[in-house]
Amino acid sequence: MTKKDKIISITLFSILTCILVFLTIFQSQKNNVEVFSKVEVEGNLMLTERDYLLMTGLDNVAISRQLSLRLIKEKFENHPYVESVKLELNADKSVTVQVDEKKIFALLNYDGKNYLVTNSYEILNIENNSLMIDYPVITNATLKEIKINQSVKSEELKISKKIVYTSKNISSDFANNLSEINLRNGNEIIIYLSGLKPVILLGKNDEVKKIYVLYELLKSTENYTSMIKTSDYIDLRYSESLFIGNNQLTGI
């Protein structure tokens, strides 16, 4: 074999090797892509299955459309409402997506617009067609700025969360009536209960104790019904006393 023949043989061998490597990689990537009959969503409370599929672009998974399980998982993980995702491939080639949604404890009214606040104090936009957004509204928080899909550090939001979850621990009905937590730009806190005329002057500190005192007061309204119906406020600012009366006496 001449030197020229050797060079040609080596060149051809190198080309064939490159082609084989390319085909191997291509086939490997192809094997990671499948054709699914449909995608189903479970565990969803904040959006319907249809809205989740629309927002992730998976609403019409046709037979001709090729997707990987990893891509489906990433699409759901990137949704702002979703904390984590588990996928299950079924025998009929459908994919079940089990979503674990972020836990919301309140709405935040900021600069004239409402946002969702998660347990980790992440601020989320309210997506169109959102369900279950009947949360107490936090107003007049002293926040310089908020960034969507990011957590904020705020002692006021921590206090608000404490108020909300104390109410939940006492009674779901009581918690459902908590409509607003007015932080009053760092001043003494006022809260409002649906169906109750007087505002609640909560003040600062001992929030848990004061919420329990308020609940016990409202439970025993047989003795106070007339007084509460005609009053403008319930004052819980003082740790050892409470007052029921008219606005001109509150000093707020």
- As a three-state string, the secondary structure of 64-133 is CCEECHHHHHHHHHCCCCEEEEEEEECCCCEEEEEEEECCEEEEEEECCEEEEEECCCEEECCCCCCCCC
Q: Of 71, 101, 131, which residue is a domain's last? A: 101
Q: Answer whether residue 157 is part of any domain.
A: yes
Model pLDDT for residues 32-88, shown as the tens digit of each residue: 567 788 899 999 999 999 999 999 988 876 544 678 899 999 999 999 999 999 999
pTM: 0.80
Q: Answer whether residue 12 is part of any domain.
A: no
Q: Answer whether residue 60 is part of any domain.
A: yes
Model pLDDT for residues 242-252, shown as the tens digit of each residue: 888 876 545 56
Domain that holds residue 67: 34-101
CA distances from 80 to 50, 71, 120 (A): 16, 16, 13
Q: How many domains does the chain have?
A: 2
Is the pLDDT at 26 greater than 50, yes or no?
no
Tell me which H or E stretch contains 180: strand 178-182
Same structural domain, 134 and 168? yes
Is the pLDDT at 9 greater than 80, yes or no?
no
Same structural domain, 52 and 120? no
Q: Answer whether residue 2 is part of any domain.
A: no
Same structural domain, 194 and 86? no
Same structural domain, 187 and 140? yes
Model pLDDT for residues 112-168, shown as the tens digit of each residue: 999 999 999 999 999 999 997 789 999 999 998 899 999 999 999 999 999 999 999
Same structural domain, 120 and 42? no
Same structural domain, 78 and 187? no
Same structural domain, 185 and 241? yes
Query: Are 139 and 152 a contacting pair, CB within 8 Å?
Result: no
Is the pLDDT at 109 greater than 60, yes or no?
yes
86 alpha carbon, distance to own chain's centre:
18
Same structural domain, 193 and 130? yes
Same structural domain, 48 and 154? no
Same structural domain, 95 and 110? no
Tell me which H or E stretch contains 189: strand 189-193
Q: Answer whether residue 146 is part of any domain.
A: yes
State the CATH number of the domain containing residue 191. 3.40.50.11690
Q: Answer whether residue 13 is part of any domain.
A: no
Same structural domain, 45 and 87? yes
Query: Are 79 and 66 a contacting pair, CB within 8 Å?
Result: no
State the CATH number of the domain containing residue 77. 3.10.20.310
Model pLDDT for residues 187-232, shown as the tens digit of each residue: 999 999 998 889 999 999 899 999 999 998 888 756 566 677 778 8
Same structural domain, 77 and 120? no
Q: Of 101, 117, 147, which residue is a domain's last? A: 101
